[in-house]
Structure 1
Amino acid sequence: MVTFLSFVVCTLLVAVISWYKTKSTNLKTIKGLFFAGKNNNYLIVASSLLLTNLSANQFIGENESVYINNMSVMAWGVTSVFAMLIVSEYFLPVYLRGGMITTADFLSLRYDSGTKQMVSIIFLLSYAVNLLPPVLYGGAVALTGMFNFQEIWGLSYWQCIWVMVWILGLIGGGYTILGGLRAISISDTLLSLGLLLLAILLPVFSLHHLGHGNILSGIKQLLSTHTDHLNAIGSANDAIPFGTIFTGMLLVNLYYWGVEQYIIQQTLAAKSLKEAQKGMALAALAKLFTPLLINLPGLIAVHLYTNVDNTAAIFPLLASDVLPNILQGVTVALLFGAAITTYNAGLHSSSTLFVMNIYLPFSKRKGVNLSDLKLIRISRRFEMLLSLIAMFSAPFILFVDSGFYTYLQRVAGLFSLPIFTIIVVGFFTKKVPPIAAKIGLLFFMLVYFLCEYVIQLQLHYLHVLAILFTLTVLLMLLIGKIYPLKQERKKYQFENTANLVAWQNRHWASLILLLMMVGIYLLFSPWGIAK
């Protein structure tokens, strides 16, 4: 009962504060609803980036991977720092200078409106298949494990997952539909403070439990036994072989932080380029500490549990065993909030893409002029439809044979890297025509699908992505050589909606962050604590 009450109090507190901070935002305009009035400072940007990135998927999936393999899975978070710094330096100025509403707007300017709409549809398919349902599923697994609803409700595990998916989906959908991006940003800021607290307390209580009441004894046991799990230098048999960091993972991270709509929309809501870059740097610093939050529980679980039938339940199992009841409730509230905030951001970005890139252009071609209020009503109806699709499909992820997190990343590659490839070519060339972008998209998606799900090459999917990226770039350049653009596309003519003065200290901050990234890898290696 104490656990449940603390969960309810924390969740309601975040909701009330978010409502209070949001009520002055005009949600009856596109700018107010979709971009929080473009008034977020670097703290809100950083918190939004971090919390939108963190969901129950990471808590569930990465701890499962650490338990099964080793610390190699931390590469997704730690090496993303390099990609975030590149995005901050080169991508953000382009987006903000162009006053872009979605990342697909760049494709319209560089190629044509058909490419923009094609990519918007791929984005929506990605969110409907590989973002919204997994976020609901991960949250349902965490909440079911923490509260032990099977015994409380007398339901099977499958039935509990269905119930929790729908609870998460209904609350998350309502939060997004009623509050817009500003409500999401405020709740992210509050939840980030809670996650910082959890990042400190959960390892402390876990080590205390491991050492039978002595934290130092717990640390000694963690560092002296099962040391193979401390190694982040993944072998060919691990979930993340070390070589993939320099091939497909780098590309995926660049896509995620620089192109993914529900992520980049958090930076587009900044009041200036300086605030956006500072926010990105602060979020990168937080990513360096995510192993303490996301991966350490999996390491400790290796010492506590020898046989676990459902390895996806490692994180909630550990938290429920080592935390006091009141902190269990707070942890559940944070997991609930992390699931909701990523779900909110994905749902919100989906409606932005649909309304601004598909519905509005279609209406204009038909000669129909739509007011902001009409567009907002359309966006909310679309969010309701997408929520229903996600809630009906999410529980079936339970039957996926491969590890949850590996499944997510493999499927994501089908949608993400083709889009990233044509954007990169668009950034660095002037003569590649729109037809090359369309052919490149279809070629990449088709060949990747065949390699992963039909032929099943004996090659890590991240290496496959890197090879296909190279082949698609060469294909697009070849088409550009044979059928070059006769006239260069127009320069960006959008109204300047942001202060474009860059953050002066960004290079020093980048150097420090990169040194810290290397230091963390040396720590979790055979030259460090994984001897």
Structure 2
Amino acid sequence: MNISAIDLTIFVFYCLLIMFVGLFVSRTKKGTEKDSKDYFLAGRGLAWWAIGASIIASNISAEQFVGMSGSGYAIGLAMATYEWIAALGLIIVAKFFIPIFLEKKIFTMPQFLEERFDKRVKTVMAIFWLAVFIFINLTSILYLGALTIEKIMGFPMIFGIIGLAIFAGIYSIYGGLKAVALTDVIQVIFLVGGGLITTYIALNLLGEGDGAIQGFSNLYTKTQDKFHLILDKSHPGYKDLPGISVIIGGLWVANLYYWGCNQYIIQRALAAKSVEEAQKGMIFAGFIKLFIPLLVVIPGIAAFALEAPLSKSDEAYPWLLSNLLPVGVKGVAFAALTAAIVSSLASMMNSISTIFTLDIYKPYLRKKANETELVRTGRWASFVSLIIAIAIAPLLSGLDQAFQYIQEFTGFISPGALSIFLAGFFYKRATANGALLAAIGSFVFSGLLKYIQPELPWMDRMGIVFIFCCLTIVISALIEKKGVSEKSINITFDLFKTTKSFNIAACIIIIILAAFYTIWW
């Protein structure tokens, strides 16, 4: 084992704290039981700080700490574009998506699709989402987390996978979204604090006695080729981050889909007290996003500068934790990484259980299910999805950059999903048949382009497929000649009105991002 008794004590304290808080907030008053609104949407009572913290804790996982550090090691600062463009995506979603969702008082994204289109669209997308969440996201989080535990503590990967699954399952399966969201507030403190400590120590070492700021200067001098946000075609990482596409191309498809149409993220906003509270939470998350590359990309570049002896890129962050951090600090950093993994696992399981229970189980298997049965089914859905992920996770061990694997294969669903939602919002003539064709076409177009043009960067492919899906919806509406749908959304200017504080905060984020891209273009 590569961890001291002090570090292990700190880590155990963190585990006990999270489990205690998770189980404590999951309590119900004597003589009462959770209903579906309590379990799946925390009683629609989340405050902005809980929403913002939970969004970040759910988003930042092993995919970022391990996967993005690995890509930072291999590619460089260009990986930060995922986080910085996400800050803009959160602003757009908060202003234009959230008011529509909350006005509809929906529980799930498939539910919105049923209300705007029909039951077929809802069911197809629900099945797609369940498959992606279980077989791509849940499994990759478990794998990357277990990889880190293996490198730091010497535990065999399968034990790390099972241990993480049990830890996340103990409180999230029982407590539902409220337990997940409120423990996420603690988790985000650990992951940001622990991540900053790791980055500081790595930069301090590169400073050669002159401090972390000098270390960053030395890092930039030593690895200047890695400090470019826009890659040219000669760069080996161009296929994953194809130049200007990260600003005006396919990355926006992934970005708006992930933050605005993804149950895993948007469920926190659906549980808000009000539209204004949800928007404040998302802008709060946007500010945190500006700092995330410092936690998850810079360490990977630092590992490269320190000439870490790695067999594959995804070992960069585990190497830093194992070899650079002193006793005591290692325990905090390890707790931070575990916090990121466990919070994402818990959030993913909650979203899986919500979609399965409300969009598959209730309408097709038990139409008359009562509230108690729905909560029980949600818990079983979480448990079964976790068992499946445990079985599949070890199969990912052959990957070099797991983060890129996740992005590429999620990209098979995101163009179609985003086109359907945008059409549902803003194209009053969009039909259910068009939406269904776009959902299926997203996979068909993606598969064909991957086969016909294997050298085409997947991000560009995603942008092209999105255009095809949008055209499919428009052409279908023209062929059907049904006119304005009776289910179309009534869009008004007042619906998208935001507070002065929101607008100021959004402008500050945009100015900061403009400065980043000007400096490191």
Aligned twin of 2:129: 123
Query: Aligned partners of 2:427 and 2:220: how far apart in 1?
Result: 50
Query: Aligned partners of 1:469 and 1:440: how far apart in 2?
Result: 9
Is the CA contact (8 Å cut-off) linking 2:19 and 2:170 kept in structure 1? Answer: no
Query: Aligned partners of 1:21 and 1:417: how far apart in 2?
Result: 38
Query: Aligned partners of 2:48 and 2:191: how far apart in 1?
Result: 18
Query: Does residue 1:418 correspond to 2:419, yes or no?
Result: no
Is the CA contact (8 Å cut-off) linking 2:71 and 2:401 kept in structure 1? Answer: yes
Q: SS at 2:34's partner residue?
A: coil
What are the Cα deviations for residues 306-349 of structure 1, in whole angstroms up to 9, with x where unaligned?
54213211101112222222121121112112111111111111
Is the CA contact (8 Å cut-off) linking 1:144 and 1:164 kept in structure 2? Answer: yes
Q: How far has the Cα of 1:393 moved from its partner? A: 0.1
Q: Which amino acid aligns with 2:274?
A: S
Aligned twin of 1:155: none
User: Where in structure 2 are there 5+ consecutive unaligned residues?
Assistant: none
Aligned twin of 2:23: 19
Q: SS at 2:412's partner residue?
A: helix
Q: How far has the Cα of 1:61 moved from its partner? A: 1.1
Aligned twin of 2:384: 385
Aligned twin of 1:459: 456
Query: Aligned partners of 2:129 and 2:33: how far apart in 1?
Result: 24
Is the CA contact (8 Å cut-off) linking 2:78 and 2:229 kept in structure 1? Answer: yes
The partner residue of 1:277 within 258, 276, 279 is 279
Aligned twin of 2:486: 489
The partner residue of 2:94 within 78, 88, 97 is 88
* TM-score, with structure 1 as normaliser: 0.91
Query: Does residue 1:334 correspond to 2:347, yes or no?
Result: no
Q: How far has the Cα of 1:217 moved from its partner? A: 4.6
Query: Aligned partners of 2:362 and 2:148: how far apart in 1?
Result: 39
Query: Aligned partners of 1:487 and 1:258: how far apart in 2?
Result: 24
Is the CA contact (8 Å cut-off) linking 1:83 and 1:253 kept in structure 2? Answer: yes
Aligned twin of 1:54: 60
Query: Does residue 1:431 correspond to 2:437, yes or no?
Result: no
What RMSD, in angstroms, separates the aligned Cα atoms of the two structures? 2.0
Query: Aligned partners of 1:416 and 1:167: how far apart in 2?
Result: 31
What are the Cα deviations for residues 193-245 of structure 1, in whole angstroms up to 9, with x where unaligned?
12232243222211222234331552342132121112222223323123221
Is the CA contact (8 Å cut-off) linking 1:272 and 1:500 kept in structure 2? Answer: no
Q: Which amino acid aligns with 1:389?
A: I
**1:146-295 equivalent positions in 2, closer than 5 A:** 146-149=152-155, 160-215=156-211, 217-236=214-233, 237=235, 238=237, 239-245=240-246, 246-295=248-297
Q: Which amino acid aligns with 1:258?
A: G
Aligned twin of 2:407: 409
Query: Higher mean Cα deviation, 167-176 or 111-120?
Result: 167-176
Q: How far has the Cα of 1:271 moved from its partner? A: 0.7
Query: Aligned partners of 1:43 and 1:227: how far apart in 2?
Result: 37
Q: SS at 1:232's partner residue?
A: coil
Query: Aligned partners of 2:222 and 2:435: how far apart in 1?
Result: 52
Percent of aligned pairs sharing the same letter: 27
Query: Higher mean Cα deviation, 249-258 or 473-482?
Result: 473-482
1:456–1:172: structure 2 CA closer, same or farther, 3 Å change rule? farther
What are the Cα deviations for residues 356-406 of structure 1, in whole angstroms up to 9, with x where unaligned?
111111146xxx511111111112222221111100001111123x52111
Query: Aligned partners of 1:191 and 1:353: how far apart in 2?
Result: 24
Q: How far has the Cα of 1:515 moved from its partner? A: 0.8
Query: Aligned partners of 1:59 and 1:199: how far apart in 2?
Result: 8
1:81–1:433: structure 2 CA closer, same or farther, 3 Å change rule? same
Query: Does residue 1:2 correspond to 2:6, yes or no?
Result: yes
Q: SS at 1:317's partner residue?
A: helix
What are the Cα deviations for residues 473-506 of structure 1, in whole angstroms up to 9, with x where unaligned?
112211111103366224679xxxxx99853421
Query: Higher mean Cα deviation, 140-149 or 279-288?
Result: 140-149
The partner residue of 1:349 within 351, 358, 374 is 351
1:295–1:227: structure 2 CA closer, same or farther, 3 Å change rule? same
Q: Which amino acid aligns with 1:386?
A: S
What are the Cα deviations for residues 53-90 of structure 1, in whole angstroms up to 9, with x where unaligned?
10011111111111112211111111111111110111
Q: How far has the Cα of 1:50 moved from its partner? A: 0.5
Query: Aligned partners of 1:24 and 1:501: how far apart in 2?
Result: 37
What are the Cα deviations for residues 102-149 of structure 1, in whole angstroms up to 9, with x where unaligned?
122221122111111111111101112211000101111122222233
Is the CA contact (8 Å cut-off) linking 1:277 and 1:503 kept in structure 2? Answer: no
Query: Higher mean Cα deviation, 368-377 or 215-224?
Result: 215-224
Q: How far has the Cα of 1:12 moved from its partner? A: 1.0
The partner residue of 2:74 within 68, 86, 89 is 68
Q: How far has the Cα of 1:179 moved from its partner? A: 1.5
Query: Higher mean Cα deviation, 516-525 or 94-103?
Result: 516-525
**1:441-456 equivalent positions in 2, closer than 5 A:** 441-452=439-450, 454-456=451-453
Is the CA contact (8 Å cut-off) linking 1:27 and 1:180 kept in structure 2? Answer: no
Q: How far has the Cα of 1:456 moved from its partner? A: 4.4
* TM-score, with structure 2 as normaliser: 0.93
Aligned twin of 1:496: none
Q: Which amino acid aligns with 1:431?
A: R
Q: How many residues get paired?
A: 505
Query: Does residue 1:523 correspond to 2:488, yes or no?
Result: no
Query: Aligned partners of 1:324 and 1:41: how far apart in 2?
Result: 37
Query: Aligned partners of 1:354 and 1:79: how far apart in 2?
Result: 31
